[in-house]
């Protein structure tokens, strides 16, 4: 929605291609063929895929800009909207500390890279087995040493945090692991008790939020919650991105 509306606001014309319209990306025809057809019609491609390799393949073969609007590896547009929201609320980025509670997933990875590049720190608290991979942590810490810390205790992560961030325990494509994940993530919910350890921290979530799992209704609706400013900024950041890439 945010990409389509941003495109319309700029006077462009978004065309949403559903998986069933094309027989599933990479299934009916190779991605490299699709990329070379689309580049002859469109000014850009915004792709939300499961496999990260799909977006890489599109970008490799299409001469037009290809935007990653979420893959199983990263979610850079979300991270940029998040960072924009943090700057709006704190008036700065430098020195801001994010406590990310939950899955070491695409959202955690992109936030970690954003923090490393923009003077912020992120402490990621995940259950054992769900941590952000070491290669990504090392990559962030090579950009800025000490910018990403991985731990297993949400209580430790929120110490001195300016922002408490969480995301679903079950990302798109992981539906078959749902019951196991819910069991494994017990103790990792953002709730009033966790918030009381960092009472001034703003609450963020990339949405959709599953109340009663990774976040309580109380946390979502608390006066510290900036979740809907964050959602709004997807539109503003992406409109700026489209303008820059397509102008």
105 binds ligand NVA (CB under 6 A): yes
Termini Cα distance of the chain: 21
Decide if 181 is catalytic.
no
Find the catalytic residue in 75, 109, 181, 205: 75
Query: Which range binds ligand NVA by CB under 6 A, 22-30, 100-108, 187-195, 209-217?
Result: 100-108
Decide if 78 is catalytic.
yes
230 binds ligand NVA (CB under 6 A): no
- Is the Cβ of residue 51 or residue 246 nearer to ligand NVA in the bound state? 51
What radius of gyration do the chain's Cα atoms show?
A: 18
Where do we find the tokens 């890439």? Answer: 245
Window 50 to 89, contacts with ligand NVA (CB under 6 A): 70, 75
Decide if 109 is catalytic.
no
Q: Which of 150, 171, 233, 238 binds ligand NVA (CB under 6 A)?
A: 171
214 binds ligand NVA (CB under 6 A): no
- Is the Cβ of residue 39 or residue 104 nearer to ligand NVA in the bound state? 104
User: Least distance to ligand NVA from the beta carbon of 70, Å?
Assistant: 6
# binding residues, ligand NVA (CB under 6 A): 10
Q: Binding marks (x or -) toward ligand NVA, 140..169, rule CB under 6 A?
A: ---------------------------xx-
Q: Which residues are catalytic?
A: 48, 75, 78, 167, 206, 234
- Interface residues with ligand NVA (CB under 6 A)? 70, 75, 105-107, 167-168, 171-172, 206
């Amino acid at each position: 929605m945010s990409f389509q509306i941003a495109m319309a606001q700029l006077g462009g014309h978004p065309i949403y291609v559903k998986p069933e319209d094309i027989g599933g990306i990479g299934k009916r025809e190779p991605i490299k063929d699709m990329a070379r057809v689309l580049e002859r019609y469109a000014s850009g491609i915004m792709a939300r895929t499961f496999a990260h390799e799909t977006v890489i393949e599109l970008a490799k073969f299409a001469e037009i800009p290809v935007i990653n609007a979420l893959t199983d590896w990263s979610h850079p547009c979300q991270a940029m909207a998040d960072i924009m929201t943090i700057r709006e609320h704190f008036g700065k980025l430098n020195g801001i500390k994010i406590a990310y509670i939950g899955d070491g997933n695409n959202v955690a990875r992109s936030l970690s890279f954003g923090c490393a590049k923009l003077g912020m720190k992120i402490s990621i608290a995940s259950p054992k087995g769900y941590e952000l991979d070491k290669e990504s942590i090392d990559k962030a810490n090579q950009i800025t040493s000490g910018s990403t810390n991985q731990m297993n205790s949400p209580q430790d992560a929120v110490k001195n945090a300016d922002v408490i961030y969480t995301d679903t325990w079950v990302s798109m494509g992981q539906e078959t692991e749902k019951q196991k994940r819910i069991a494994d993530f017990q103790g990792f919910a953002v709730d009033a008790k966790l918030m009381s350890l960092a009472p001034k921290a703003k609450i963020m979530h990339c949405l959709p939020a599953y109340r009663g799992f990774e976040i309580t209704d109380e946390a979502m609706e608390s006066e510290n919650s900036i979740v809907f400013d964050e959602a709004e900024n997807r539109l503003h950041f992406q409109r700026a991105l489209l303008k820059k890439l397509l102008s």
